[in-house]
């Protein structure tokens, strides 16, 4: 069983074993797709303007592995071509939520009137822009952008309160489409 992925124009790609490097107009990404369980099953090779994925086994597992690895490679292509942007909305009704960026940290204060200051480190390769009541998270790496947006949203998670009444927080309202 095999699958062929066309390399888009304007993107350079190299494959060494299970390591895929992609360079495009926005930057460069590298992904190591090595997994001990797939080394004997899957093979990745670069032809002239395409990547060929082949599987030794021809069952559901082989097909699933091909699809997963192909999706990771396509995410790399889209990342260096256009990047991934998540938008989060800052919502407060009771106390004004104060959020600011200092260097590679996000500092959140006055959440529901609490004196506790919450901090979060911004990973390398992620750009965060804080506007009035919106936060934009941008990265070339899809997983890094999504995880950072989820961590920002999680800063304002609260329990033991009625969610219908206390709707304060930071919420993801726009994310990249596949």
Q: Where are the domains of the chain?
A: 2-81, 84-174
Please indicate whether the domains covering 2-81 and 84-174 agree at the CATH topology level: yes
The pLDDT of residue 38 is above 90 = no
Residue 108: predicted pLDDT: 93
Residue 150: predicted pLDDT: 96
- pTM listed for this prediction: 0.87
Mean pLDDT of 119-143: 95
Mean pLDDT of 44-48: 91
Please say whether the beta carbons of 30 and 18 come within 8 A: no
Name the pLDDT band for 36 (thresholds 50, 70, 90): confident
Residue 163: predicted pLDDT: 74
The pLDDT of residue 97 is above 80 = yes
Name the pLDDT band for 136 (thresholds 50, 70, 90): very high
Name the pLDDT band for 145 (thresholds 50, 70, 90): very high
The pLDDT of residue 165 is above 90 = no
Label residues 125-144 b or e (16+ Cβ within 10 Å = b): ebebeeeeeebebbbbbbeb
CATH 3.40.50.1980 matches 2-81: no
Q: Which CATH superfamily is domain 84-174 in?
A: Ribosomal protein L6 (3.90.930.12)
Alpha-carbon 121 to chain mean position: 16
CA distance 121 to 132: 21
């Amino acid at each position: 069983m095999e699958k062929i992925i066309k390399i888009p124009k304007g993107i350079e790609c190299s494959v060494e074993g299970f390591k895929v490097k992609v360079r495009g107009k926005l930057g460069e990404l590298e992904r190591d797709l090595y997994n001990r369980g797939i080394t004997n099953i899957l093979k990745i090779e670069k032809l002239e303007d395409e990547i060929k994925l082949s599987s030794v086994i021809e069952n559901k597992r082989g097909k699933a592995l091909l699809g997963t690895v192909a999706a990771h490679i396509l995410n790399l292509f889209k990342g260096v071509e256009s990047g991934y942007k998540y938008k989060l909305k800052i919502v407060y009704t009771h106390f004004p939520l104060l959020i600011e960026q200092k260097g590679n940290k996000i500092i959140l204060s006055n959440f529901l009137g609490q004196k506790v200051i919450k901090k979060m480190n911004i990973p390398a390769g992620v750009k965060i822009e804080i506007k009035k009541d919106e936060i934009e998270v941008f990265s070339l790496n899809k997983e890094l952008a999504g995880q950072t947006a989820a961590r920002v949203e999680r800063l304002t998670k609260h329990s033991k309160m009625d969610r219908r009444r206390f709707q304060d927080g930071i919420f993801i309202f726009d994310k990249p489409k596949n």
